Structure 1
Amino acid sequence: MIAITSTLVCGITLWIAYMNKARCAGGTFEESGRSAIFDVIKDSHVCYSDIQYLWLGRGINEHVFPYITGGITPDGQLTGGAVEYPVLSGLLMWIGGIGSHNDADFLFHSALLLAPFALLTAYLLARMAGPAALLWAAGPPLILYAFHNWELPVVATAVAAFYVMTVLTRYSLRDRAIAAAVFLAIGFCFKLYPGIFLPPLLIYVLVGEHPLREKRFDVRGALMVAATAIGTVVAINLPFALAGYDGWRASITFQQLRQADITTNSIWYWGLGPLFANTRSGYDTFQDMVSVASPTLIVASFALACWLGWKKYQLSGIYPWIGVSGAMLCGFLLFHKVHSPQYTLWLIPFLVLLEVPWGLIVAYLMADACVGIGVFRYFYALGAGRNADFEQNIVQIGVWGRAALLAIFFLLFIGARARSHGRLGVPGAVGLDLGSVSADRHIAPPARTAA
C-alpha cells in the first residue's frame, strides 16, 4: 500500500514541479523558438531549467542526432550535435526534441519522458524503506529539480541496482550483483556517478553476504560483475564513438575544461576562489590548483570510504556496500569543482534507505534550498545591478551548510542501519541485505522471499 501511495504522491509532486518550470515557458516565441519571457523571469521567478535553456546551442531545436556530428572548440564551446552529457542523456534530449517546435514543447516532452523514472524510483524506494520514501516522493528537491536537468533516469538506475540487491533475494548474490552492475553501468551512461558504486559492490560480492558462514572470497564472481559493468558501458558507447568520435569525445572534454566559477556552487569557488580573484594570473592559478586538488581529494575520499567499510566488515561480517556507496557520493559532491543544485536528487535515495537523523536531513534540505533558490535570486540581483550582499550570504549559508552535512553523512552512512519496515518479513532483514546492521543483529542469514 505504501508503494502505491508513494507513487501517487510522487505524481502530484511531479505535476507541481512541471508547473513551476513551465512558468518560464510559453507566450510569445522568438524566431528561434525561445520563449520571450524566459530571459526576463528565469532568475527572478526561480523557474530556470537547463532543459529549457539547452533548447538552443546543442542542435536540439534543429533535431540533430547527438554526437555523430560536431565537436568542441579549444575554448570549450560545443559545436554541431555535441552535448556535454553521456550518451544516454544526449539521446533522451534528442528524443524530447522530436516534434518540438519551441522550448515550451521541449520542456513538456522532456517532462513526459522523465516522469516515469521518478515514479519508478518512488515505488522502488517505498518497497525497500516504507514511508521514508515520501522524502523522495514529496520532498522539496523533487519540486525544485525534477525537470531542471536530466537527473531522474540516472537516479532510477541506481535505485534499481539497490532494489535488485536487497529485495530479490531468491536469486544468488552473484546473479543479483550482475544485474545490479548492468543498472549501474546504464546509469553511468546517463550521468557518470553510479559508476563509483561499482567498487563497493565488487567488494561485497568478493566477501559474500552471510556473516556466519565460512568466508571464501568469490574472486570469479567479482570479476564477472566487473566485466558485466565494463561490457555494458562499452556496448552503449561504442556505436556513438565509432560513428562520430569527435562529437562523442567532446562531452568528456567539456567536463574536463569546465572551471570552478560562479555557476558551480562549489566550496572551491566560495572558499578558495576569493583568495585569488584579484588578478587574471591569480584566477588561472586558482583554476590550476582546483584541477589538481579536486580529483585528488575525491579519490582520497573514495579510498577512505572503502577502507572504513572494510573496518566495518571486520567487525560485523557484512560489507556495507550501499553505505560505502553513499559515503563515496558525499565525497564526490563535497570535493568536485561543480556542485549543481539538482545533484541533491542523487543523494536523496541514501537518506531514504539509511537511518540517519531526520533533523540532519531537514537541515540539509534547508541548506539545499538556500542554494537551489538563493543562487538564482543572486544572479537576478547581480543582473539588475542591485546590491547582492543578502542573496550572496544566503547562497554561502547553503554552500557551507551543505558541505558540513555532507561530511557528516560521509561518516554516518557507513555505519548506518537500513530503514526497514519488514518488507522481507523478518525484522532487520532488509538492513542485513544492505550490509549496515551491527554485529549483534547477525543471528541468521537473510530470509529468502520472493520479490
Structure 2
Amino acid sequence: MRTPARASTTTTVAVTLLCGLTLALAYLNKARCAGEPFDALGRSLIFDRIKDSSVCYSDIQFLWIGRDIDHHVFPYLSGGITDTGALTGGTVEYPVLSGLLMWLSAVGAHTDAAFLLHSALILTPFGLATAWMLGRLAGWPALLWSVGPPLVLYAFHNWELPVVAAATAAVFVVAAGDRMSLRTRAVLAAVLLGIGFCLKIYPGAFVLPLMAYVFTGGAGGRELPATARGRYDPVGALAVAGAATATVVAINLPFAALGWRGWVASFAFQSDRQADITTNSVWYWGVRHWFGPDEGPGSDYARVVAAASPLLIVAAFALAVWIGWRRYRRDGSYPWLAVSAAMLCGFLLLHKVHSPQYTLWLIPFFVLLRVPWTLVGAYLLADLCLGVGVFRYFAALGSGADASTEEAIVLAGVWGRAALLVAFFVLFLRSRPRTAGADGRSDGAADRAPRPG
C-alpha cells in the first residue's frame, strides 16, 4: 500500500503556532462579555447587556447558570428533566464526555469569567491537535482551520473543539499507511469515533462508511487480510462496528447505571427541542411558513419537523453510502472520507437545529478533500452572515428597533449555507483526498493515486 505523503515539520509547526494565535484571539473575543462586576450568582453584569449587540455571546458563559455548573454538581447522576423541559440536578443537554468537560472547567471557578477562562484552557489543546493533524495530512491548506474566521467566532462558543479533534484523529489514524494493518487502524479509528459520539454525537455516523471501507479491503481492495475469503472482509467490518459500540457503551454505562434519569434527560432535552428562532434551520425559516401561526410543542409544524427531520437525515445518509458504493464499484476504493463529509452535509442541512458553531465540524473536510476554494469561501461568507447577523438580529428584536436589515442578513446566511450544503453533498462524493508533499503544498499526483478515503 502507498503511504500518503506528509507535510514537512516546518509546515505543521507553522500551522499549529498560527492556530494558537487564533485561539488567543478567539478567547479575547468572547472575554469581552465577561468580567467584573458580578452579580450574586457570579454572572458578569455586562453579559446580558452586550452579548448580542457586541457579538461576544457564548454558550459557555451562558450555561454557567441554570445547569448547576456554578454549584459544581457532578453531571447526570442526580439530574432529570421536568414536565416543562427544564433540566435539573446538574444534567446538561450534551453527551456525557462534554458534560464532564463542562464540570471539569468549573472546578475552582466561582464566576462565569473564570468558567470561560478554564474552558478555554481545557479546549485549546484540542484545537491545536486538530491543526497539527490537518497540517500533517494536507499541508498549508490546514490554514483554513488555523486562521479562518470560524475558529475566531466559535472556538470558545461551545464545546466543539474536542469532538472535531476526535473525528480528525480517526481520519489521521486510518491514513497512517502500512505501519499497522487496516483492521488495526480502523478499529482504533472506530474507538475515536465512539469517543466523538460521546462528545457531540455526529462522528458516530462516520462508522458506517468506515465499515464499508474495511469491508472492501481499503485502498484499491489491496488491504484485505490473509484470512479473508474472496473480495470482502466482513469480520473486519464487524470489528469496526463492535469497537465503536463497545466504546460508547463503556463510556455511557456508568452514568446510565448510577443516574439513569439524569442520563436519559440529556437525550430527551435534545429530542424535545423545537425548531424555533434560535435554531437557524431551514425548518424554521422555510417550512414554518407553510403552517399556521402556532409553532409551539404539539403544533402541526412541530409534529411534521419531529417526524420529517430524522427520516430525511437517514435518507441522506443512505444516499451518500449508496453513491459511495457505486464509486467503489467504478474506482476500486470505497471513499469513506468523502461519504462521511457528505453525510455531515445532510445532517447539517436537515437537522432541526443548525447552530453557527457547527461550521467547525465541516472545516476539516474542506481541508482534507479537494473541493473548489471559491465555494469554500462562499460558505465562510454565508457563515459569517449568520454567525454575526443572528446576534445582531436578536439585539435589534430585544431593543424593539427595526430588525429588517438584520433579518435579511440572517436569511442570507441560512439559505446561503443551505444551498452550499447541497452543493457540497454532491461535490464531496466526487472528491479526492488532499495530501501534502514534503514542502507542504498539495500533491496533485498523489490525489490521482488510489489511497484511503
Aligned position for 2:240: 225
The answer for unaligned runs of 5 or more in structure 1 is 436-451
Whole-Å separation in 1 of the counterparts to 2:296 and 2:52: 31
Aligned residues: 435
Aligned position for 2:452: 434
Deviation at 1:280, TM superposition (A): 6.1
Aligned position for 2:203: 194
Q: Following superposition of structure 1 onto structure 2, how do residues 292-441 of structure 1 map, counting pairs within 5 Å?
A: 292-422=307-437, 427-428=445-446, 432-435=450-453
Whole-Å separation in 2 of the counterparts to 1:43 and 1:19: 16
Whole-Å separation in 2 of the counterparts to 1:413 and 1:230: 27
Whole-Å separation in 1 of the counterparts to 2:297 and 2:15: 50
The one-letter amino acid paired with 1:295 is P
1:100 aligned onto 2:100: no
Whole-Å separation in 1 of the counterparts to 2:319 and 2:332: 19
Alpha carbons 2:288, 2:295 under 8 Å: kept: no
Deviation at 1:169, TM superposition (A): 3.1
Q: Secondary structure at the match of 1:216?
A: coil
Aligned position for 1:245: 260
Structure 1 residues 400, 379: closer, same or farther in 2, change over 3 A? same
Deviation at 1:62, TM superposition (A): 0.3
1:63 aligned onto 2:72: yes
Deviation at 1:236, TM superposition (A): 0.3
1:155 aligned onto 2:170: no
Deviation at 1:310, TM superposition (A): 0.5
Cα deviation 1:260-284 (Å, max 9, x = unaligned): 0000000000001123242468981
Percent identity between the two aligned chains: 60
Deviation at 1:209, TM superposition (A): 1.7
The one-letter amino acid paired with 1:138 is V
Aligned position for 1:141: 150
Whole-Å separation in 1 of the counterparts to 2:232 and 2:125: 39
Alpha carbons 2:31, 2:113 under 8 Å: kept: yes
Deviation at 1:127, TM superposition (A): 0.4
Alpha carbons 1:418, 1:430 under 8 Å: kept: no
Q: RMSD in angstroms over aligned alpha carbons?
A: 1.7
Deviation at 1:74, TM superposition (A): 1.8
1:181 aligned onto 2:199: no
TM-score, normalised via structure 2 length: 0.93
1:123 aligned onto 2:123: no
Q: Following superposition of structure 1 onto structure 2, how do residues 36-55 of structure 1 map, counting pairs within 5 Å?
A: 36-55=45-64
Alpha carbons 2:219, 2:452 under 8 Å: kept: no
Alpha carbons 1:52, 1:103 under 8 Å: kept: yes
Structure 1 residues 212, 298: closer, same or farther in 2, change over 3 A? closer
Alpha carbons 1:93, 1:110 under 8 Å: kept: yes
Segment of structure 1 superposing worse, 162-171 or 347-356: 162-171
Structure 1 residues 430, 149: closer, same or farther in 2, change over 3 A? farther
Q: 2:277 aligns with which of 262, 271, 279?
A: 262
Deviation at 1:430, TM superposition (A): 9.4
Alpha carbons 2:396, 2:402 under 8 Å: kept: yes
Aligned position for 2:216: 207
Deviation at 1:420, TM superposition (A): 1.6
Q: Secondary structure at the match of 2:83?
A: coil
1:289 aligned onto 2:298: no
Whole-Å separation in 1 of the counterparts to 2:174 and 2:136: 13
Deviation at 1:241, TM superposition (A): 0.7
Cα deviation 1:362-384 (Å, max 9, x = unaligned): 00000001111000000000000
Structure 1 residues 208, 70: closer, same or farther in 2, change over 3 A? same
Alpha carbons 2:218, 2:452 under 8 Å: kept: no
Whole-Å separation in 1 of the counterparts to 2:39 and 2:75: 24
The one-letter amino acid paired with 2:194 is A
Whole-Å separation in 1 of the counterparts to 2:391 and 2:286: 19
Whole-Å separation in 2 of the counterparts to 1:296 and 1:384: 39
Deviation at 1:27, TM superposition (A): 1.7
Whole-Å separation in 2 of the counterparts to 1:277 and 1:350: 39
Q: Secondary structure at the match of 1:65?
A: coil
Structure 1 residues 28, 431: closer, same or farther in 2, change over 3 A? farther
Whole-Å separation in 2 of the counterparts to 1:432 and 1:249: 44
Cα deviation 1:289-318 (Å, max 9, x = unaligned): 001111111000000000000110011000
The one-letter amino acid paired with 2:206 is F
1:112 aligned onto 2:121: yes
Q: Following superposition of structure 1 onto structure 2, how do residues 62-101 of structure 1 map, counting pairs within 5 Å?
A: 62-101=71-110
Whole-Å separation in 1 of the counterparts to 2:444 and 2:185: 20
Q: 1:272 aligns with which of 246, 262, 287?
A: 287
Whole-Å separation in 2 of the counterparts to 1:365 and 1:207: 35
Cα deviation 1:96-138 (Å, max 9, x = unaligned): 0000010000000000000000000000001000100000000
Cα deviation 1:237-265 (Å, max 9, x = unaligned): 00011110000111000000000000000
Alpha carbons 2:221, 2:333 under 8 Å: kept: no
Alpha carbons 1:158, 1:184 under 8 Å: kept: yes
The one-letter amino acid paired with 1:268 is W
Whole-Å separation in 2 of the counterparts to 1:384 and 1:336: 30
Segment of structure 1 superposing worse, 83-92 or 207-216: 207-216
Structure 1 residues 112, 431: closer, same or farther in 2, change over 3 A? farther
Q: Secondary structure at the match of 2:340?
A: helix
Whole-Å separation in 2 of the counterparts to 1:302 and 1:197: 10
TM-score, normalised via structure 1 length: 0.94
Alpha carbons 1:276, 1:282 under 8 Å: kept: no
Deviation at 1:210, TM superposition (A): 3.7
Q: Secondary structure at the match of 2:123?
A: helix
The answer for unaligned runs of 5 or more in structure 2 is 1-9, 225-229
Whole-Å separation in 1 of the counterparts to 2:380 and 2:332: 34
